[in-house]
């Protein structure tokens, strides 16, 4: 390795402001781990002073918020964001990676732990210093690879230590199982591994415009920027750095490349990847070039309309990764959508509460229900779905008790239609009398004076659409419901109802609820196109196909789903489930999370309803918000589960028909509608001069 000497004009007491003076990083985006104190905080401060957008990723959110507020006050830069990150927790790393949008120009891996006096292992069985100081940095860098590549010219900077000069990495005994634990050796090997990663990353990713550096501040008494970062350093190849002694102003080179290192480097990356698989982080596998367009690197404009590479005051809101200065220090990473054409914000997943109550013999107790609701709320969830018949009304009753004192922070939805009293013929249906009595009963059980989203549970052909829509509109005008919605209707029926409401100035349906999952994609024939045309968000029940997509029934096991639920016995259904399980192993998550994420990533505003009987099940389902499937995974699932749309959709998507209807210039029309037509055309490119069918 070339031990080139690097010198700067800065002294040991240079301040961050002096080092960064004259450098303008406007439009550049950086992540600094461990930015809640010390070197990380000063690095974030220097970058902010140069007008960069800086995300401080920390385990202690309160410390991160304090530093961010201080930096914003001292630099005047309000683009200082805070995100939760625990480098010893693969799920925490996965959440940060999944939420990042757009390019990333600089990743400063600073966070770590040092010289733990006793051997500590992570829950996944790794020595804590190696897991935090190296494996966590490794996973984060590889997870953010595409974002770094999207920047065009990006840099990874890992904080190393001179301890690497004395400490090899014993890959065969990372966890000190066959040698006495030594805090210094444990710390040193983690820092040596960072040097090896910097060398290998630069070699592997040079074509992507990514350079990696491993630097160290030397022996320091304070945390001025000049001790660990300089303009000269930032322009040098990987694994070159310099340090200044407190006793000398002369720059001395760091010899990162001693003879023993050469024998380690060949296996460093491969060994680290093997380690990361054991560490439950399989997303580090770099996807093939043809399938690298994952949600991590999407470059379409955010909601505010800005270019992803252009900073704006709304950048935090657009990405949803980090929190504003005034937001509570809660670590929420839930994203939100709008309720159709309204301005109401709804969480990207909704809490289904059909399992709240034990009246049917398999639900959750009020205590467990309360803990599930609290976990949902702590994650940022705000949309709750129930019905007057769920667990014979107990679901609504439990919710009424649980929401005391916090009702208004939730978007509360319930349903009516099904019979609630077998002795009363008018306790069923969608007629006006049923609407009025059902609303009053639900309001009492829910202990509220209004319902945010009121679902018509099913189609009642004995009641005219006009009677139903006028009855719902009356309740809107009375303030007892805010928005009507519809569940389990045919597409043409919803279109008829909303058209009738619009013509008469009544309140139309604002959302649609339906069954949709990898084993039943029939809504793609009519319901989803209708919802898109009317701008209705789609709430999805049964995203797990009543448990079948978890894979637990593949071996012929029986349970509630096989005994009482819908069969889902379409040809190839087991192949679909097997693929879900396979992808879950590749991604490093559960099959349920793959199935829910597939629903969540469908075009349009599609919101899965997640529910569970136990806290463990719900925790796993909720974690699907932290999982993003790559395009290659979506393509594999689509190939196995794609439905036959039937006439006229199949015919109208044929290339020859599209060519006749839209003309040979369709490919030259720059409009979202034209793009949608091109995207759904089958049979290859549209040829000029083709005749349309018919």
Which tens digit of pLDDT belongs to each residue from 35-70?
Answer: 888 888 888 888 898 889 999 999 888 888 888 888
Residue 322 in this model has a pLDDT that exceeds 70 = no
Q: Region 86-114: what's the mean pLDDT?
A: 87
Residue 250 in this model has a pLDDT that exceeds 60 = no
The set of catalytic residues is 187
Residue 107 in this model has a pLDDT that exceeds 50 = yes
What is the C-alpha separation between 341 and 192, in angstroms, rounded? 55
Q: Which of 308, 331, 307 is nearest to 81 (CA)?
A: 331
Q: Which of 338, 335, 344 is nearest to 317 (CA)?
A: 335
Q: What is the pLDDT of residue 280?
A: 36
Residue 475 in this model has a pLDDT that exceeds 70 = yes
Encoding tokens for residue 471?
């009855």
Q: What is the pLDDT of residue 189?
A: 86
Q: Region 206-231: what's the mean pLDDT?
A: 58
Q: Region 170-184: what's the mean pLDDT?
A: 86
Q: What is the pLDDT of residue 297?
A: 27
Q: Which residue is listed with tokens 């139903």?
A: 468
Q: What is the pLDDT of residue 220?
A: 37
Q: Region 663-671: what's the mean pLDDT?
A: 86
Cβ proximity of 639 and 674 under 8 Å: no
What is the C-alpha separation between 272 and 192, in angstroms, rounded? 12
* Digit-coded pLDDT (tens) for 280-299: 333 333 333 333 333 322 22
Q: Sorting pLDDT into bands at 50, 70 and 90, what band is 166?
A: low
Q: What is the pLDDT of residue 94?
A: 87
Residues of the chain within CATH 3.20.20.100 domain(s) are: 322-640
Q: What is the pLDDT of residue 275?
A: 44
The conformation of residue 287, written as its DSSP 8-state character, comes to P
For residues 168 and 496, which has the higher predicted lDDT (pLDDT)?
496
* Digit-coded pLDDT (tens) for 383-415: 999 999 999 999 999 999 999 999 999 999 999
Q: What is the pLDDT of residue 163?
A: 65
Q: Which of 485, 463, 235, 465 is nearest to 383 (CA)?
A: 485
Q: What is the pLDDT of residue 570?
A: 63
Coil, strand or helix: which one is 515? Answer: strand
Alpha carbons within 13 A on the beta-carbon side of 353: 34
Residue 350 in this model has a pLDDT that exceeds 80 = yes
Q: What is the pLDDT of residue 134?
A: 86
* Digit-coded pLDDT (tens) for 419-461: 999 999 999 999 999 999 999 999 999 999 999 999 999 999 9
Encoding tokens for residue 30?
């950086």
Q: What topology is assigned to 25-288 in CATH?
A: Rossmann fold (3.40.50)
For residues 510 and 19, which has the higher predicted lDDT (pLDDT)?
510
Enumerate residues 6+ apart whose C-beta is below 8 A from 546.
561, 565, 566, 568
For residues 571 and 346, which has the higher predicted lDDT (pLDDT)?
346
Give the CA distances from residue 598 to residues 51, 518, 580, in Å, rounded to whole numbers and listed in that order. Answer: 38, 8, 10
Q: What is the pLDDT of residue 216?
A: 67
Domain over 322-640 is classified CATH 3.40.50.300: no
Residues of the chain within CATH 3.40.50.720 domain(s) are: 25-288
For residues 269 and 620, which has the higher predicted lDDT (pLDDT)?
620
Q: Which of 650, 640, 489 is nearest to 571 (CA)?
A: 640
Q: What is the pLDDT of residue 302?
A: 33
Encoding tokens for residue 439?
């609303």
Encoding tokens for residue 602?
């469908």
Enumerate residues 6+ apart whose C-beta is below 8 A from 111.
33, 34, 40, 57, 58, 59, 85, 87, 132, 136
Q: What is the pLDDT of residue 682?
A: 52
Residue 665 in this model has a pLDDT that exceeds 50 = yes
Enumerate residues 6+ apart whose C-beta is below 8 A from 376.
351, 384, 618, 622
Indicate the average pLDDT of the chain.
79
Cβ proximity of 114 and 37 under 8 Å: no
Q: Region 230-253: what's the mean pLDDT?
A: 32
Quick one: how far is CA 450 from the chain centroid? 32
Least confident stretch, 164-173, 205-214, 516-525, 684-693? 684-693
What is the C-alpha separation between 513 and 354, in angstroms, rounded? 14
Encoding tokens for residue 661?
């209807």
For residues 477 and 564, which has the higher predicted lDDT (pLDDT)?
477
Alpha carbons within 13 A on the beta-carbon side of 551: 17
**DSSP states along 94-147:** HHHHHH--S---EEEE-------SS--B-TTS-BHHHIIIIIHHHHHHHHTHHH
What spatial distance separates the first Cα and last Cα of the chain, rounded to whole Å? Answer: 71
Q: What is the pLDDT of residue 320?
A: 34
Give the CA distances from residue 581 to residues 141, 360, 377, in Å, rounded to whole numbers and listed in that order. Answer: 26, 30, 29
Residue 368 in this model has a pLDDT that exceeds 90 = yes
Q: What is the pLDDT of residue 123?
A: 78
Least confident stretch, 54-68, 222-236, 633-647? 222-236
Coil, strand or helix: which one is 71? Answer: helix
Give the CA distances from residue 112 to residues 46, 242, 375, in Å, rounded to whole numbers and listed in that order. Answer: 20, 21, 28
Cβ proximity of 109 and 141 under 8 Å: yes
What is the share, in percent, of the chain residues with pLDDT greater than 90? 43
Enumerate residues 6+ apart whose C-beta is below 8 A from 152.
103, 209
Q: Region 640-659: what's the mean pLDDT?
A: 87
For residues 233 and 31, which has the higher predicted lDDT (pLDDT)?
31
Q: Sorting pLDDT into bands at 50, 70 and 90, what band is 649?
A: confident
What is the C-alpha separation between 292 and 145, in angstroms, rounded? 10
Least confident stretch, 78-92, 203-217, 430-444, 562-576? 562-576
Q: What is the pLDDT of residue 169?
A: 82
Q: Sorting pLDDT into bands at 50, 70 and 90, what band is 582?
A: very high
Encoding tokens for residue 233?
């350093």
Q: What is the pLDDT of residue 294?
A: 31
* Highest averaged pLDDT of the listed ranges 4-13, 214-223, 536-545, 581-590: 536-545
Quick one: how far is CA 309 from the chain centroid? 20
Q: What is the pLDDT of residue 400?
A: 97
Q: Sorting pLDDT into bands at 50, 70 and 90, what band is 243?
A: very low
* Highest averaged pLDDT of the listed ranges 1-5, 123-127, 168-172, 579-583: 579-583
Least confident stretch, 322-326, 353-357, 574-578, 596-600? 322-326
């Amino acid at each position: 390795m070339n031990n080139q000497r690097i010198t700067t004009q800065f002294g040991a007491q240079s301040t961050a402001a002096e080092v960064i003076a004259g450098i303008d990083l406007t439009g550049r985006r950086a992540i600094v781990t461990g930015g809640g104190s010390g070197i990380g905080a000063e690095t974030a401060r220097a970058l902010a002073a140069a007008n960069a957008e800086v995300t401080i990723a920390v385990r202690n959110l309160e410390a991160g918020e304090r530093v961010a507020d201080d930096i914003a006050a001292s630099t005047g830069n309000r683009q200082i964001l805070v995100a939760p990150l625990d480098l010893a927790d693969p799920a925490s790393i996965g959440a940060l990676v999944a939420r990042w949008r757009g390019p990333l120009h600089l990743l400063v891996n600073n966070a770590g732990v040092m010289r733990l006096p006793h051997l500590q292992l992570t829950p996944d069985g790794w020595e804590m210093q190696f897991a935090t100081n190296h494996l966590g940095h490794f996973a984060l860098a590889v997870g953010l690879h595409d974002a770094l590549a999207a920047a065009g010219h990006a840099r990874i900077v890992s904080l190393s230590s001179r301890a690497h000069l004395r400490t090899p990495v014993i890959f065969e005994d990372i966890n000190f199982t066959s040698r006495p634990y030594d805090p210094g050796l444990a710390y040193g090997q983690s820092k040596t591994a960072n040097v090896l990663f910097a060398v290998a990353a630069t070699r592997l990713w040079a074509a992507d415009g990514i350079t990696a550096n491993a630097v160290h501040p030397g022996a320091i008494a304070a945390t001025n920027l000049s001790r660990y970062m300089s303009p000269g350093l930032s322009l040098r190849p990987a694994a070159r750095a310099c340090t200044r002694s407190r006793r000398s102003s002369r720059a001395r080179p760091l010899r990162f490349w001693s003879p023993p290192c050469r024998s380690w480097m060949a296996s460093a990356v491969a060994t680290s990847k093997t380690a990361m698989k054991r560490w439950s982080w399989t997303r580090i596998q770099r996807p093939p070039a043809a399938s690298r367009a994952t949600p991590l690197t999407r470059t379409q404009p955010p909601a505010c309309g800005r270019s992803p590479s252009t900073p704006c005051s709304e950048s935090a809101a657009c990405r949803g990764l980090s929190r504003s200065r005034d937001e509570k220090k809660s670590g929420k990473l839930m994203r939100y959508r709008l309720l159709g054409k309204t301005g109401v914000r709804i969480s990207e997943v909704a809490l289904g509460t059909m399992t709240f109550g034990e009246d049917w013999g398999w639900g959750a107790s009020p205590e467990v229900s309360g803990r599930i609701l609290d976990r949902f709320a702590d994650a940022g969830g705000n949309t709750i779905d129930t019905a007057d018949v769920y667990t014979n009304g107990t679901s609504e009753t439990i919710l009424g008790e649980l929401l005391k004192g916090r009702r208004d922070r939730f978007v509360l939805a319930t349903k009516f239609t099904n019979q609630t009293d077998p002795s009363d013929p008018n306790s069923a249906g969608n007629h006006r009398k049923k609407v009025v009595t059902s609303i009053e009963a639900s309001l009492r059980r829910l202990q509220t004076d209004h319902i945010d989203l009121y679902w018509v549970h099913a189609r009642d052909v004995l009641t005219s659409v006009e009677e139903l829509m006028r009855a719902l509109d009356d309740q809107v005008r009375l303030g007892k419901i805010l928005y009507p919605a519809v569940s389990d209707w045919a597409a043409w029926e919803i279109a008829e109802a909303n058209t009738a409401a619009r013509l008469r100035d009544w309140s139309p349906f604002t959302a649609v609820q339906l069954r949709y999952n990898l084993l039943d994609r029939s809504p793609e024939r009519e319901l989803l196109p209708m919802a898109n045309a009317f701008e209705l968000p789609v709430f999805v029940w049964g995203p797990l196909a009543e448990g079948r997509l978890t894979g637990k029934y593949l071996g012929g096991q029986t349970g509630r789903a096989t005994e009482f639920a819908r069969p889902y016995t379409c040809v190839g259904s087991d192949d679909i489930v097997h693929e879900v399980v396979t992808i879950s192993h590749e991604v490093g998550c559960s099959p349920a999370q793959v199935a829910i994420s597939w629903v969540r990533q469908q075009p349009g505003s599609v919101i899965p309803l997640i529910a569970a009987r136990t806290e463990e099940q719900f925790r796993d389902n909720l974690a699907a918000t932290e999982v993003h499937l790559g395009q290659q995974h979506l393509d594999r699932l689509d190939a196995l589960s794609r439905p036959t749309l039937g006439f006229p959709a199949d015919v109208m998507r044929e290339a020859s028909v599209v060519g006749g209807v839209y003309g040979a210039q369709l490919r030259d029309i720059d409009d979202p509608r034209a793009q949608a037509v091109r995207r759904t055309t089958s049979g290859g490119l549209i040829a000029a001069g083709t005749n349309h069918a018919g």
